[in-house]
Chain A
Amino acid sequence: MAQPKFLTLLSLRRNWAIPYLLYLFVFVLIPLFLIVMYAFMDTEGTATLANFRKFWMQPEALNTFIYSVGIALITTFLCLILGFPAAYILSKTNTRGARILILLFILPMWINFLIRTLATVALFDFLNLPLGQGALLFGMVYNFLPFMIYPIYNVLQKTDQNLIEAAQDLGANPRQVFLKTIVPLSVPGITSGIMMVFMPVISTFAIAELLTINNIKLFGSTLQENIYNGMWNYGAALSLVMLLLIGVTSLLGSEGGAKSEEGGLL
């Protein structure tokens, strides 16, 4: 019995992935390849390292880069300081209460982050607070905190109650139970939380522009400016530098989280 050809194609379940693979190829792999190509070319199309030399020699781009990494580190640190206790309290709350609290944490995420950030600007205006570096950090933490809380909560919630009892049984007081059992066990969650905050923060530019009235430039803005002004080759080189940093971060992250796969990126 002859089947129409497209039906034969559909009958194999793995063929269903073809549309996505195509998408991946056209919109991820080819652009990535183009970025690498452009980064190592000048405007005439000859191979060169000049773009990277320019980044290394030009204090402005390099400074912005270092400053951005600094902001990202501080943001990540603040998210961790605020997020871990929140996740811990959530994991201790009974299921119903926790569900409502999580909803409250995630609710702001349903609103586009631009609108949220504009609202933050309005809030700072209303409270007569200056926009600038402080506002920038506030905006960053506000936007990325849920990405820290959720993976940590996920791990803490799954923590085997027996392990906590075992620690108590072996003589650990509540403080020691926390430091020697709960914290080490939540490392996979912390790792994936750090990655989920640190990596996107590096390339953010809209939050910085809005909350500092364009006074502070982050690396994302530098990137955007160069591409926008037609400096494709230099922009590609800067993108590559950032991708490299993100790559190294995620490599370190997966190394740390390798012991337990329960960290669970969202």
Chain B
Amino acid sequence: MQNSESIIDIGHVSKYFGEKAALDDVSFTVRKGEFVTILGPSGCGKTTLLRLIAGFLTVTEGSISIAGTDVTTIPPYLRPVNTVFQKYALFPHLNVFNNIAFGLNLKKRPSDEIKKRVNKVLKMVGMTDYEERDVDSLSGGQQQRVAIARAIVNEPEVLLLDEPLAALDLKMRKDMQMEIKAMHKKLGISFVYVTHDQEEALTLSDTIVVMSEGKIQQMGTPKAIYDEPANAFVADFIGESNILNGIMIEDNLVSFAGHQFECVDKGFESQEPVDVVLRPEDLYIFDPSEAAMLTGKVTSSIFKGVHYEMVVLTTEGYEFIIQDYHCFDAGKDVGLRVKPSDIHVMKKERLFNTFSGTVVDKAHVRFLNQVFECAEASSFTLGSTVSVYIDFKDVVLFDYEEDGLFGGDVKFILYKGNHYHLTVSTHGNENIYIDTNDVWDTSDRVGITFAPGSIHITNINS
């Protein structure tokens, strides 16, 4: 069904809202007949991207072409795409038939053709006999069906779907997923589907585009993304995972959780710090024995329907989530084992916080729009531009914004087995990364300071 011919080309697209970049240099291609899902947490830019394709927003930089035509500056009503809106957006002054016929009426199609085509799509979405109904009298699921019918009746080259199932309950959502997948097969057109639900993305897509903070983190088939996440963000966002800090000793040998493990990754530098991802279902759990690579104690065990989900605290103090059909009760001593091919080693995105700053005097450096004490400043000329480095563990957080030198919001939390790795966004939209043992919640407002003597600087040109 698929061929390599591309239908949408997104080329280096950036979109700024004021100073803030909603999308930062995004490029990808949708092939004819492909089901592409744009997946990411709220605020990652996925809806902005869809609205750019539909034409409701214009790009700040870059270009978009659809079916070989550059549509970057073309208004939405001339683009060969149709959208299924998150909140349905059905016209309240029209009945079901006239809602669906809206696009065809605008194109002045003959009325018998309109009738035929509307009836055909109504049948397709299972809403025959609802033509005369008021849209307000329909349930959420029925409204969504009408919204889909209204879009596909125009036979677009691409159907854009903006979290179409977000407002439905779980059972209805599962049914609609299957219907959308079947519909995609039957229509043979490309679907671009936006969602924050990773399971939905894995179920539906040919290709998943994982986005965060306006950037594409990874693009690939559901299996590739699940099995080989490109970074800690993707690993954490898609499915459940154990993510730990590790050190690559040499090719095919990695050290984490206090032990060395054989793995299948190579091409890293010796002693390079890395992120290690282990899927909960890839860890084997058994009674303590010679075969154990790690030993520990079960701290919790929950029945999840198909499997048990257990948390094991290893002797070295690292926590692992394990999914297994066999139950090991809390308090039990166990051994753990993992296959080399199930250890996913990923390059770290950054090893410390980096800012650009200027030396203001012998003992102070300015960055993040503030002046900080810094002993190392004495060996730099005044006014010189420097790179500022601060270790993740040297950032100190406070419950109250006033207690810190400046404030921010906790945006993203990653559990690393024995500590949390937080992303805190300052009010100036700079990200600060922190390693901590304290428990915070996303969107907590915090005060931030840097431990004395922890601000390191180097010349930018050196």
Question: Which B84-100 residues have C-beta < 8 A from chain A?
Answer: 85, 87, 89-94
Which of B77, B81, B90 contacts A173, CB < 8 Å? B77
The residues of A that contact B87 with a CB separation of less than 8 Å are 160, 162
Q: Is B239 engaged at the interface, CB distance under 8 Å to the other chain? A: no
* Residue count of chain A within 8 Å CB distance of chain B: 20
Question: Which A161-178 residues have C-beta < 8 A from chain B?
Answer: 162-163, 165-173, 176
Q: Is A48 engaged at the interface, CB distance under 8 Å to the other chain? A: no
- Could you tell me the distance between the alpha carbons of A162 and B54 in the complex, rounded to whole angstroms? 13
User: Is there an interface contact between A187 and B93, defined as CB atoms closer than 8 Å?
Assistant: yes
- Nearest B residue to A170 by beta-carbon distance? B103
Q: In the complex, which of the residues B82, B91, B150, B151 has the most CB atoms of chain A within 10 Å of its own CB atom?
A: B91
The answer to whether A184 and B93 touch (CB under 8 A), given A166-B85, A171-B77, is: yes
Q: Is A249 engaged at the interface, CB distance under 8 Å to the other chain? A: no
The residues of B that contact A168 with a CB separation of less than 8 Å are 55-56, 75-77
The residues of A that contact B85 with a CB separation of less than 8 Å are 162, 165-166
Q: Is A92 engaged at the interface, CB distance under 8 Å to the other chain? A: no
Q: Is B259 engaged at the interface, CB distance under 8 Å to the other chain? A: no
The residues of A that contact B89 with a CB separation of less than 8 Å are 160, 162-163, 165-166
Q: Is A96 engaged at the interface, CB distance under 8 Å to the other chain? A: no
Q: Is B358 engaged at the interface, CB distance under 8 Å to the other chain? A: no
Question: Which B69-121 residues have C-beta < 8 A from chain A?
Answer: 75-77, 81-83, 85, 87, 89-94, 102-103, 106-107
The residues of B that contact A157 with a CB separation of less than 8 Å are none
The residues of A that contact B54 with a CB separation of less than 8 Å are 165, 169
User: Is there an interface contact between B93 and A185, defined as CB atoms closer than 8 Å?
Assistant: yes
User: Is there an interface contact between B106 and A171, defined as CB atoms closer than 8 Å?
Assistant: yes
- Could you tell me the distance between the alpha carbons of A163 and B107 in the complex, rounded to whole angstroms? 18
- Could you tell me the distance between the alpha carbons of A180 and B94 in the complex, rounded to whole angstroms? 10
User: Is there an interface contact between A165 and B76, defined as CB atoms closer than 8 Å?
Assistant: yes
Question: Which A137-177 residues have C-beta < 8 A from chain B?
Answer: 160, 162-163, 165-173, 176
CB distance from A156 to the nearest CB of B (A): 14
* Residue count of chain B within 8 Å CB distance of chain A: 24
- Could you tell me the distance between the alpha carbons of A167 and B102 in the complex, rounded to whole angstroms? 8
User: Is there an interface contact between B92 and A259, defined as CB atoms closer than 8 Å?
Assistant: yes
Q: Is B154 engaged at the interface, CB distance under 8 Å to the other chain? A: yes
B-contact 0/1 string along A167-201, CB 8 Å cutoff: 11111110010001100110100000000000000
A-contact 0/1 string along B49-68, CB 8 Å cutoff: 00000111000000000000
The answer to whether A259 and B91 touch (CB under 8 A), given A171-B77, A180-B106, is: no
CB distance from B194 to the nearest CB of A (A): 15
- Could you tell me the distance between the alpha carbons of A197 and B378 in the complex, rounded to whole angstroms? 78
- Could you tell me the distance between the alpha carbons of A176 and B103 in the complex, rounded to whole angstroms? 11
The answer to whether A170 and B92 touch (CB under 8 A), given A165-B56, A165-B85, is: no
- Nearest A residue to B102 by beta-carbon distance? A170
Q: In the complex, which of the residues A165, A173, A176, A184 has the most CB atoms of chain B within 10 Å of its own CB atom?
A: A165
- Could you tell me the distance between the alpha carbons of A166 and B102 in the complex, rounded to whole angstroms? 10
CB distance from B203 to the nearest CB of A (A): 26
The residues of B that contact A163 with a CB separation of less than 8 Å are 89, 91-92
The residues of A that contact B83 with a CB separation of less than 8 Å are 165-166, 169
User: Is there an interface contact between A170 and B150, defined as CB atoms closer than 8 Å?
Assistant: yes
CB distance from A174 to the nearest CB of B (A): 8
The residues of A that contact B107 with a CB separation of less than 8 Å are 171
CB distance from A150 to the nearest CB of B (A): 21
- Could you tell me the distance between the alpha carbons of A160 and B150 in the complex, rounded to whole angstroms? 18
- Could you tell me the distance between the alpha carbons of A42 and B204 in the complex, rounded to whole angstroms? 82
CB distance from B108 to the nearest CB of A (A): 11
- Nearest A residue to B153 by beta-carbon distance? A170
CB distance from A181 to the nearest CB of B (A): 7
- Nearest A residue to B87 by beta-carbon distance? A162
- Could you tell me the distance between the alpha carbons of A187 and B106 in the complex, rounded to whole angstroms? 21
- Nearest A residue to B160 by beta-carbon distance? A169
Q: Is A260 engaged at the interface, CB distance under 8 Å to the other chain? A: yes
- Nearest A residue to B51 by beta-carbon distance? A165
Which of B93, B151, B154 contacts A259, CB < 8 Å? B93
Question: Which B339-355 residues have C-beta < 8 A from chain A?
Answer: none
The residues of B that contact A165 with a CB separation of less than 8 Å are 54, 56, 76, 83, 85, 89
User: Is there an interface contact between B106 and A176, defined as CB atoms closer than 8 Å?
Assistant: yes
- Could you tell me the distance between the alpha carbons of A30 and B452 in the complex, rounded to whole angstroms? 84
The residues of A that contact B102 with a CB separation of less than 8 Å are 167, 170, 172, 180
Beyond A171-B77, A185-B92, A187-B93, 14 extra complex contacts between A and B, CB < 8 Å: A163-B89, A165-B76, A165-B89, A166-B85, A167-B102, A169-B83, A170-B82, A170-B151, A171-B106, A172-B102, A180-B106, A184-B93, A184-B94, A259-B92
In the A-B complex, the 8 residue pairs with the smallest Cβ-Cβ separation, listed nearest first, are A170-B103, A162-B89, A166-B89, A168-B76, A184-B93, A169-B83, A171-B106, A168-B77
Provide a sorted-by-A list of 5 A–B residue pairs whose CB atoms are within 8 angstroms. Answer: A163-B92, A167-B102, A170-B151, A172-B106, A181-B91
